[in-house]
Structures are given as structure tokens and as C-alpha cells.
Structure 1
Amino acid sequence: MRLDKYLWFVRLVKTRAMAQALIEEGHLRIDGRPVDRCHVAVRPGMVLGFPLHDHIRVLRIEALPVRRGPAPEARACYTDLLPPVPSASEEGGE
């Protein structure tokens, strides 16, 4: 499956065009190697690293989706390898 299609199917980006832009900026890595082509094939076991919405995301691909389904179905296709970043309210900030 193409990388841009995967990012869109698992609901990490809202449109396939946004996925293509993210990839072409050159900030996305697969297994530690920089990627700048949308047509790169992905498969289960690969690790993706990229900045998204002011956070660094590191995900391991668990399955390839067959469609852009609901969010719970999409989340089952990857494992987030970085713990969630606590917000200021959770840290006890004032």
C-alpha cells in the first residue's frame, strides 16, 4: 500500500493531499530512513516517525486497512510507540 494512502486510511491526516504534502516535505521517516516520495510501499512491522500537529509521532504499522473506516478501526492498524504528552492541566500547572 502507498504511504500517502495509508496515512489517509488510518485517519492521521484529513485528506490524501495533506498526506502527500507531509511526505514531500521530507520530515517523514520509515525505519529511520528519510522518505520524500508518496508512492513508497508500506507493510506491517515498519516504523513511521514524523511531526504532526506540534507533536512527534512514532508508529509501528500493525495492519494495512482495506478502507478509510471509523476511527477505532483505523487505530487498530498501528501502535503508537511514544507515550502521550501530558497537557499543562494534567501536569498540575496553574
Structure 2
Amino acid sequence: MPEQDSKLRLDKWLWAARFFKTRRIAVEAIDGGKVHLNGARTKASRTVKVGDELSIHRGHEEYIVTIDGLAERRGPAKEAQLLYSEHEQSREKREREAEQRRLLASTMPPSDHRPDKRARRKIVRFTRRERK
């Protein structure tokens, strides 16, 4: 069962709850504005407590969870799921968007060849321009 401390760093909690594979990735997500604590941007060193609400953006998915427990160590996935409860609207929205992405991917025609060097360069140029 998870340890019940009174406070814990946000990056440690995200790592222990298995939202991110490493604390470094969790810190980068927090610094990049992908994690909000009680509706506001925060720092990795911010302490969280039971009852706090987190909004976590990970790739195409958005989780809105309430902290139910704290754990210093990263345990099995079954224990990690006991640390939070996801809001019903968040779960429904994630499942709906995943289904839309799956349907969109199934309608795209498969490529019959791999891109050559020139095409790869164009792809890289295009994707770099999109990120900025």
C-alpha cells in the first residue's frame, strides 16, 4: 500500500504515479507547461497533498486527476493507480479522442514505399517549421 506522507514534491509524485517514466521527463513536462496544479502552472519542487487537482498533458492525451495518496517510491502499476482518481469527463474525452485517431489512421492509405533522402529532408523541414 502507498506510503501516506503529508506532502511530496510534484515531480516525485508524477513519477511514482507512473505518468512519466523518469523524474527528469516529469520535470521537463512541468517546466514546459504540460502540468497544472489546481488550475495554475507550477514548478517541479512544488509540494502536493491529498485532494489537489492536476491537469496533465501527455502527447495527445489529457488527464484531469485528483490526488488520493502519496508515495515516495515507484511501485507496481496497481499501487500507482491507487494514488489518484481520474475525473469521468477526462476519461470519456480521452477515449473518444483515441477512437477518433484510430478511425482517422484506418482511413489513411498506407504508403507503398519509404521516403527517399530528398523526401526525408522535406519532412524534417516541414515538421521543424510546425513546432515553432
Q: Flag whether TM exceeds 0.5 (same fold).
A: yes
Count of matched residue pairs = 91
Alignment match, 2:82: 76
By percentage of residues, which structure has more strand?
1
Q: Are 1:66 and 2:38 an aligned pair?
A: no
Alignment match, 1:50: 56
Unpaired stretches in structure 1, ≥5 consecutive residues: none
Distance 1:34 1:61 in 2: 17
Unpaired stretches in structure 2, ≥5 consecutive residues: 1-7, 108-132
Distance 1:60 1:21 in 2: 21
Structure 1 or 2, whichever has the larger Rg, is: 2
Deviation at 1:56, TM superposition (A): 1.1
The amino acid that maps onto 1:71 is: A
TM-score, length of structure 1 as denominator length: 0.86
Percent of residue pairs identical: 30
Deviation at 1:15, TM superposition (A): 0.6
By percentage of residues, which structure has more helix?
2
RMSD: 1.8
Alignment match, 2:124: none
The amino acid that maps onto 1:15 is: T
Q: Are 1:38 and 2:44 an aligned pair?
A: yes
Distance 1:27 1:66 in 2: 22
Moved over 4 A (4+): none
TM-score, length of structure 2 as denominator length: 0.63
Deviation at 1:27, TM superposition (A): 2.8
